[in-house]
Structure 1
Amino acid sequence: MSEAAKTLPPIGCNGRGAQASSREAPVSLTEAPIEEQFRLVREAGVFDYFDRLPMPDQVDTYRRCIERFGLPVHTASWFYALGRDEALLADKLRLAAEVGAHTHNIMLYWHDAGGRPIGNDEVADFYLRAYDEGMARGVEPAFELHVNMWSEDPRRVAPVAAAVMRRGIPFHFTLDYSHGIFKMGNAQELAICGLTEDVAAGRAVLDPFQPGNFVDQWLQMGIVRWLQVRSVAPNGPRNRWSTGDTGEAVAAVPEHSIFPYRAGEAGRGILYPFTEPGPGEWHSDWDANALACTREVVRKVLAYHHAQADSPLRWITTEMINLPDYAHNARFSLIGQNAAIARFVRDTWAGLGPG
C-alpha cells in the first residue's frame, strides 16, 4: 500500500463557514474579513488548510494570511454557466494558482446562460477545457455534486465521468453527498430532477446504507478526489429562518434555477447541525440519529481510501456554510460545527487502524 493511502488527506475549512456565530450574533450573509476567517480556522485547532478562492483584490491579503496563520490554500471553488463564463474560468484558475491552490472545484449550472438545460456531452467538454487550462497552471479541475448544477441529478455523474475517461483524462469528482442525502424521502426534491420513479423502483439508490448506492458506485469508479462534509438529514427541515427576502444575491443560485426559489419561502434543507444545538440556536428539533447517513458516507470514503493503494482522494473539507439553503440565521457557532465535523473525520480515520 502506498504511503498516500496510509495518510489521512489534509482537512480544510470552507471560508463561508468561518463565523463565530452565536445566539447574540446569528450566522450572517455578511462575512468576516478574510484575516478573521483565517484566524478562526487556525484557532479551531483541527484544520490543515483554508479552502476559498480569493477575489482579484484579495490575493495579497490571502498570501499574508497564509504566511501569518500557517494555513495554505489547497482548494478553491467557483460556479459557471455555459455560454457566459468561459473566459471567467481562465480568470478563476489564475487566481487559484496565485494563492497556491492545487484543485479548483467547479460547479457548472444545470442551465446555460440562456436558460437551456445542458447535455452530458457539454459537461464533459467543459471539463476537458478546464483540465487543459487548469493543468497548464498547475491547478486540476474537480466537478462537484451540487444542487442547481448539472449533477443535481446524480445519475448523470457516471456517464459524464466515463466520457471524460474515454479520452484518457482522469475525471476528478468532488463528493458533497449532502446534496443527495437531503433528497431522501422528500417528494419535491426527488421530482425536481426526475428521480421519483427510479428511486421508487430501486434503479437510483441515494441511501448510502443500501446496496447499489451512488457513493459506492463513484468510489469503485475511482473518481472521488475531494470529500466535502456537510451534515444533513434525509428529508430534513427547510431553513425557515432564511426566507429569501433579504434582497441580497446568493452565491451558486443562478438566474435559471432548477428549484422554484421565491421570496418569502424557507431555504432548502441542505444542512442539519452536527452537534446538538443549545436552546434557541436552531429552528427545529434535533435528533442525533438523523446524522447516520452523513457519518456513513464519511466512513465509506475513508475506508476506501484506507484500503486502496491507488485511492484518488486528496482533499477533505468541512462545509457548514452561511447561505440560505444552509445555516443562514442559525444561532449556533458555525466554526464550532465545522470543527466538530473535522474531529469526527479524524476520529473515524483513527478507528480504521494502521494502513
Structure 2
Amino acid sequence: MPETTKTLPPIGCNGRGAQASSMEAPVSLQEPAIEEQFRLVSESGVFDSFDRLPMPDQVDTYLRCIERWKLPVLTASWFYALGQDEAQLGEKLKLAATVGARQHNIMVHWHDGAGRPVTDAQVADFYLRAYDLGMALNVEPTLELHVNMWSEDPRRVVPVAEAVRRRGIPFNFTLDYSHVIFKMGNEQELELCGLKDDVAAGRVELDPRRPGSLVDQWLDMGIVRWLQVRAVAPNGPRNLWSILDPTQPVAAVPKHSLFDYKAGEPGRGILYPFAEPGPGEWHSPWDASALDCTKAVVHKVLEHHARHADSRLMAITTEMINLPDYAHNARFSLMGQNAAIARFVRDTWTQKQEKAAVFA
C-alpha cells in the first residue's frame, strides 16, 4: 500500500467535557480539578492534546500536567463582548502562549457590552487586532461559529471572512456545525437568527449531507482552520434535565442574548449522545440516525483535507461539554462520549486514507 504524507491533525478534548459522570454522578457544572481533567483525557488513550485556556493562577498546574501526562495544550478559547472586553484579548493570548497553545479560538458575542448588535466590520476589526497580537506570540486567532455570538446567523461568516482577506490577512474559522444542525427543522431557532425565510426558499442550505451546504461553501473558501465536533440532532430535544436560572451566570450565555433564556425552562438542544446511552442515562429517546448530519460534517471536512494539498485544517477537538444547553445533568459518561467521537474521527480518517491508497 503506497504511503501518504497527509496526516490527521491532532485531536484534542475540551476540558469542559472531561468528567467521569455516571448514573450516580450526573454531569455537573462543578468540574473536577484540572489535574483530574488532564488524567481523564490522557487515560482515554484517543487524544493528542488538552483543549482549554488556563486562568492566570492555573498556569503552573497546566505546565505540570502537560509534562506529567505528556498531553500538550494546542488550542484554547475565550468569550469577548466588544466595547467591554478588548483589554482581555492580549491577556488571554499571552496565557495561551504560556502553555504552548498554537491557536486561540475567539467567540465574539452578538451584542456589545451595552447590548447593541455588533456589525460585521466590528467583528473583522477585532479579528485583525487579534491577528496582530496573536501572531507576535505565535498564537493564531480563529473565529468560531457559535450560538449567542456574531455568527449565530451563519450568513455573516462570508462577509466577515472577505473583509479580513481584503486586508491581506488569512481568515481562520472554527467550524462547530452543531450550532447550525440543531436549528434544522426548528422554526423558533431558525427565526431567531433570521434564517427561516432563506432556508424555506432554498437560498441557504443547512443540511451538510446535501451539495451546496454552508459546509461546502466554507471548505471551498479555504477558511476552515479548526474543526470542533459535537454530536447534535436536527431539531433535537432541549436539555430537559437542566432547568434555567438566569440569575446564575453560565459560560457561553452572555448578559445580552438572542435567545430568551426564561427561568424554569430547559436548556437549548445543542447536544445529542454520540454513543447510545444506557437506560436512564438520557432524558429523551435515542436514534442513531439522528447523528447522520454530525457524521456528514466530519466526513466532508476530512475528505477535503485528504484531497487538497492546500487544506488549512490545523486542529480537531471534541466538544461534548457540561453546560445547560449541552449535557448538564446527563447520566452517561461525558468523557466516554468525547472519546467515542475521537475514535469515530480516527476511524473515518483511516478509511479515507485506505481508500485513497487503493486508487492511487
Cα contact 1:5–1:308 (8 A) shared by 2: no
Are 1:286 and 2:283 an aligned pair?
no
Stretches (4+) displaced over 2 A = 245-248
Q: Which residue matches 2:268?
A: 268
Question: Cα deviation per residue 1:83-129 (whole Å; 9 max; x = unaligned)?
Answer: 00100011100100110000000000000000000111111000000
**Where does residue 133 of structure 1 map in the other structure?**
133
Change (3 A) 1:21 1:83: same
Change (3 A) 1:135 1:331: same
The unaligned stretches of length 5 or more in structure 1 are none
Task: Name 1:350's counterpart in structure 2.
Answer: 350
1:129-175 Cα shifts (integer Å, max 9, x gaps): 00001111111100000000000000000111011011110000000
Residue 245 (structure 1) shift: 2.8
For 1:143 and 1:258, locate their aligned partners in 2 and report how far apart those are by CA, in whole Å: 19
Deviation per residue, 1:25-72 (Å, 9 max, x gap): 000000000000000000100000000000010000000000000000
Q: Deviations over 1:192-239 (max 9, x none)?
A: 010000000011111011222100000000000000000000000000
Percent of counterpart pairs with the same letter? Answer: 75
> What is the CA-CA distance between 1:247 and the residue it aligns to?
5.0
Alignment of 1:329-348 (within 5 A): 329-348=329-348
8 Å Cα contact 1:51-1:74 kept in structure 2: yes
- Equivalent pairs counted in the alignment come to 353
The residue identity in structure 2 corresponding to 1:270 is I
8 Å CA contact 2:142, 2:173 repeated in 1: yes
Aligned to 1:46: 46
1:193 match: 193
> 8 Å contact 2:173–2:224 — kept in the other structure?
yes
> Superposition pairs for residues 1-355 of structure 1, below 5 Å?
6-245=6-245, 247-354=247-354
CA distance in 2 between counterparts of 1:7 and 1:231 reads 24
Distance 2:128 2:219 in 1: 21
Letter in 1 for 2:259: F
The alignment partner of 2:302 has SS state of: helix
Q: Which amino acid aligns with 1:300?
A: K
**CA separation of 1:165 and 1:332: change in aligned 2, threshold 3 A:** same
Q: How many Å separate the matches in 1 of 2:352 and 2:230?
A: 21
| Separation of aligned partners in 2, 1:284 and 1:200 | 28
Give me the whole-angstrom Cα distance separating, in 2, the residues matched to 1:175 and 1:109: 16
Quick one: distance in 2 between partners of 1:300 and 1:330? 29
Unaligned 5+ segments in structure 2 are none
For residues 303-348 of structure 1, what are the alpha-carbon distances to aligned partners after superposition, in whole Å with 9 as ceiling and x for unaligned?
0000000100000000000000000000000000000000000000
Alpha-carbon separation, structure 2, partners of 1:123 and 1:305: 27
- Look up the equivalent residue of 2:120 and give its one-letter code: N
Q: Secondary structure at the match of 1:242?
A: strand
TM-aligned CA deviation for residue 81 of structure 1 = 0.4
CA distance in 2, matches of 1:4, 1:63: 34
What's the RMSD between the two structures over aligned residues? 1.2
Question: C-alpha separation between the residues in 1 aligned to 2:248 and 2:278?
Answer: 28
Residues of 2 paired with 1:165 and 1:222: CA distance? 11
TM (norm. structure 1) is 0.98
SS in 1 for 2:24: coil
- Does the Cα contact within 8 Å between 1:5 and 1:306 map onto a contact in 2? no
From the superposition, tell whether residues 85 and 4 of structure 1 become closer, same or farther in structure 2 (CA, over 3 Å): farther
SS at 1:353 equivalent: helix
Question: 2:235 corresponds to which letter in structure 1?
Answer: N
CA distance in 1, matches of 2:13, 2:254: 24
Is the contact between residue 246 and residue 262 of structure 2 (CA under 8 Å) also seen in structure 1? Answer: no
Residue 4 of structure 1, CA deviation: 9.7
**How far apart in 2 are the matches of 1:330 and 1:336?**
12
Asked whether the equivalents of residues 246 and 261 of structure 2 are also in contact (C-alpha less than 8 Å), the reply is: no
Aligned residue for 2:266, secondary structure, equals coil
2:174 match: secondary structure = strand
Local SS of the residue matching 1:97: helix
1:5–1:310 Cα contact (<8 Å) kept: no
The normalised TM-score by structure 2 is 0.97
| 1:58 partner amino acid | Q
Q: 1:246 to 1:203 in 2, by over 3 A?
A: closer
Is the 8 Å Cα contact of residues 5 and 311 (structure 1) preserved in structure 2? Answer: no
SS at match of 1:96: helix
